[in-house]
Amino acid sequence: MKNRRKGQAGVTLIEMLVVVTIIALFAALVAPKMLHRADSARAVAAKTQINSFMTALGTYKLDTSMFPTTEMGLAALRNHPANLNQWQGPYLAQELPNDPWGRPYIYKYPGDHGDEPDIISYGADGQPGGDGINADIVSWK
């Protein structure tokens, strides 16, 4: 078995290098497109969560005649605030999630953009402003 015959099948180093090169080229072309889709999905998830918060805040206001203050935050949708007898919550079925990048949502009431609260996710970079995946996802747009 140690001695191979000349006509015996096997994989040469050149053949292996060709296969590895093809796989590397495929990964270089496909991976960026797949990563872009993941970032787009995170932005859509953040917008969906913000819309869910706005719906819950609307119900909260119907019950209490006011939105939670900035100090109370979105936590008032899950936990009964002190001295608020009209609270009929919890207004969210699950615990308050972080944004898709793992950071808490920013809540502000009174908001700077109308009569409703402002809810913000700062996107992938976690900083105000930005473009593309770093763009802010906000409740007023």
Average pLDDT, the chain: 86
DSSP per-residue string spanning 46-107:
HHHHHHHHHHHHHHHHHHHSSPPPTTT-GGGGTS--TT-TT-----SSSPPPPPTTS-PPEE
Domain contains 112: yes
Q: What is the pLDDT of residues 40-52, one digit of tens each?
A: 888 899 999 999 9
pLDDT at 29: 78
Is residue 84's pLDDT more than 90?
no
Task: Report d(CA 61, CA 59) in Å as an integer.
Answer: 5
Lowest mean pLDDT among 28-42, 60-74, 84-98, 102-116: 28-42
Whole-Å CA distances, 27 to 13, 20, 23, 39, 41: 21, 11, 6, 18, 21
Question: Pick the residue with more confidence: 62 or 29?
Answer: 62
Domain contains 82: yes
Span 87-95, mean pLDDT? 90
Domain contains 32: no
Domain contains 96: yes
pLDDT at 120: 95
Domain contains 68: yes
pTM (predicted TM-score): 0.72
Domain contains 24: no
The domain total for the chain is: 1
Domain contains 9: no
Domain of residue 83, CATH code: 3.30.700.10
Q: Give the structural domain span for 87.
A: 44-138
